[in-house]
Homo-oligomer: A and B are copies of this chain.
Amino acid sequence: MSHAAQGQTQASASNPSTLAEPSSVIVNKSAHEFDKTLFDSLLSRRFFFAPSFEIYGGCAGFFDYGPPGSALQANILEVWRKHFIIEEDMLELDTTIMTLADVLKTSGHVDKFTDWMVKDLKTGEIFRADHLVEAVLEARLKGNQEARGQAAAPPAAEDDKKKKKKKVVKSTAVKLEDETVKEYEYLLAQIDNYTGEELGDIIKKHNIVNPETGNELSQPQEFNLMFQSEIGPTGQVKGYLRPETAQGHFINFQRLLEFNNGRVPFASAQIGRSFRNEISPRQGLLRVREFTMAEIEHYVDPKDKSHPRFVDTKDVQLQLLPKDVQEQGETTMTHMTVGAAVGQKIVDNETLGYFLGRVQLFLEKIGIDPKKLRCRQHMSNEMAHYASDCWDFEIKSSYGWIECVGCADRSAYDLTVHSNKTKQKLVVKESLTEPNVYQKLDIQLVAKPFGMKFKKDAKAVEAAIRGFSQEELAKFKFELDEKKEASVKIEGGAEHIVTNDIIKIEEITVTEHIREYTPNVIEPSFGIGRILYSLLEHSYWARESDVARGVLSLPPLVAPIKCLIVPLSANPEFTPLINEISAKLRRAGVASRVDASGASIGKRYARNDELGTPYGCTIDFASVANGTLTLRERDTTDQLIGKIDDVIAVTVALSNSQMKWSEACQKLEKYSGTQEIE
């Protein structure tokens, strides 16, 4: 919680969402403290999302999106598609969720995508081992401080980051030895680095038990986080539900490259569902077993990570938390432009910097509060097995700072392992304008005597020699030149002696017109559910008059419905106007909804404040008599009035973020009627 204040100087010049902000803000959005209970109740009541299989008792880690949640998600994804895929000509993909086990074996997920779990030996309850150790030790440290009458120290960066994941354990005021406090602090700082065995030792040494039952715990067991299934009826073809969409891009690399006429850099992009079989998910949408991702894989020449459009993002402001700062136990954020961060080598290269800037712009565009957004570099001990550098966009919510977008440089890892495994080339061929000329040792065999000498092993001997690196070959040649023979080990281990009459190794000049290389991959990967949840928290506030009157100030760009059409009553006289206005808004591509229910106008607007609907048009008898319409703005509840077509034109412009409310106030008259009954 201590970090929000530090971010308040963040420039908001680059925040496109300010367009939607009414000019005459007579709204006190911070009149009430954020109330999680009321907020959760709103999301459930308005069916933004709800536990899946709710009438069957639910199942942790699964959520269904109702109409406003689905529309909000669809709108976020549409902005994402335009901002990234269309704007940058990315190649969109749609690959399968079910993935052949071989693919994920090669990528490392079968072996390394695991967590350690421990069981309560009596009840069988299962915990994530690292989370449990962490929670228990932190509770003991807190209890120690209470016993010593100390105020709790502000959490360090790492603790703060992790608080979100763990089970909360109640502290009891028990004093600890100074030695013990030091040991606990050391263990907590390293908690991400322990193997299962080490976690087991810590649990034993420090008498960690199930905090609720007091029962002993099992040895930590490894648990793979992928959902497994069988393909077809034989039981012999294993598949996993993908834990990320990325592998679907990589194994299609050669086709994508061909589609792009063989040229690099280019990017592929995919929006789709992924799965992680979490051991014990808590925290609503932030830790789920099934989620929508949007992933970009940008393929780039490892020798040239410049970006042609870098200039477009170099002035974007970021709030950075680099690794060296964290490694000193600090959490001080630095405000810096992308250009400066790349210039000072805090961010490694232009392409990575470019994407950090683009991601920042995207998140601001959909309405994420830039003060609650930071860009944290991974420390070396927390990097995924495939990454060579990684920055996370973390968004602050009531759960703390949560990773919502990861920007990793996956280097050539994935393409290399898939290529090695399948023996398929996953490389770029570049025609060189200046040929590459260099010297190398070349092997020439005297075919007949070579074959006669080694018989059935001849091929293996040749393969072994041709498999030498240039250094090994130089050594081999040296030995041959010296002793007229040299020994070589073939596959299987047998050794053979090669004599200098059947082989010639000479330095030759090579002129290459084509360069072949495995591109590096820069990957921005978006967790859409986490972004959506954070956005809802950032948008939520309650009217000064009543803490229960919640409002979601979603930008029109992503609001589920842009305009509510409210007839004063169920009088059939209003029907033709309702149909006319609906049709005109629909034709202009503005999502609207009619609320002709019997509730009072005030209640209907309050309901739509909770749904985040930015505008409302009221049809009354004046509409029928004089052809006028009133237009209400959600945040201020201000109302304007004008001729129907003028009001529609203004509503369309507002909904498309082409007009600000202050401009609308110039175009239409202020309305001072008393239609809105509170």
Contact = CB atoms under 8 A, between A and B. Distances in A.
Contacts of A94: 64-65, 69-70, 73, 292
B227 A54 contact: no
A279 interface: yes
A93 B279 CA distance: 27
B252 A99 contact: no
Given A50-B252, A54-B255, A64-B252, 18 more contacts: A47-B255, A53-B251, A54-B252, A55-B251, A55-B424, A56-B103, A61-B231, A64-B95, A64-B96, A67-B259, A73-B94, A89-B594, A97-B97, A117-B233, A227-B229, A229-B241, A232-B280, A263-B597
A66 interface: yes
Which of A96, A237, A421 neighbours the largest number of chain B CB atoms within 10 Å of its CB? A96
A248 interface: yes
A587 to B, nearest CB: 11
A277 B231 contact: yes
A60 interface: yes
Contacts of A71: 92
A439 B465 CA distance: 99
A254 interface: yes
A312 interface: no
A471 interface: no
Interface string A544-581: 00000000000000000000000000000000000000
Contacts of A228: 229-230
B92 A74 contact: yes
A418 interface: yes
Interface in A249-304: 251-252, 254-256, 258-259, 261, 263, 272-273, 275, 277-280, 289-290, 292
B273 A100 contact: no
Identical copies in the complex:
2
A26 B15 CA distance: 52
Contact of A56 (B70, B73, B93, B422): B422
A52 interface: yes
A667 interface: no
A98 B248 contact: no
A52 to B, nearest CB: 5
A3 interface: no
A259 B66 contact: yes
A280 B93 CA distance: 26
Contact of A93 (B70, B87, B241): B70
B65 A95 contact: yes
Interface in A204-257: 223, 227-234, 237, 239, 241, 248, 251-252, 254-256
A86 interface: yes
Contacts of A234: 124, 126
12 contacts: A53-B102, A54-B251, A55-B251, A56-B100, A59-B100, A62-B98, A64-B252, A67-B93, A89-B594, A97-B290, A124-B234, A231-B289
Which of A56, A89, A100 neighbours the largest number of chain B CB atoms within 10 Å of its CB? A56
Contacts of A586: 86-87
A289 B263 CA distance: 33
A96 B63 contact: yes
Contacts of A103: 53, 56
B279 A232 contact: yes
A55 B415 CA distance: 12
A281 to B, nearest CB: 9
A486 interface: no
A279 B60 contact: no
A505 interface: no
A586 B81 CA distance: 13
A191 interface: no
Contacts of A162: none
> Which 6 residue pairs are nearest across A and B when measured between Cβ atoms?
A65-B94, A64-B95, A70-B92, A67-B91, A55-B422, A55-B424
Nearest to A46: B259
A275 B255 CA distance: 25
A73 B95 CA distance: 12
A210 to B, nearest CB: 15
A618 to B, nearest CB: 18
Contact of A255 (B50, B93, B290): B50
A55 B95 CA distance: 14
Interface in A346-402: none
Nearest to A594: B89
A593 interface: yes
A427 interface: no
A591 interface: yes
Contacts of A86: 586, 591
A456 to B, nearest CB: 28
A142 to B, nearest CB: 28
Contacts of A97: 97, 273, 290
A232 B128 CA distance: 11
Contacts of A278: 232
B248 A64 contact: yes
A666 to B, nearest CB: 25
A52 B96 contact: yes
A255 B87 contact: no
A232 to B, nearest CB: 7
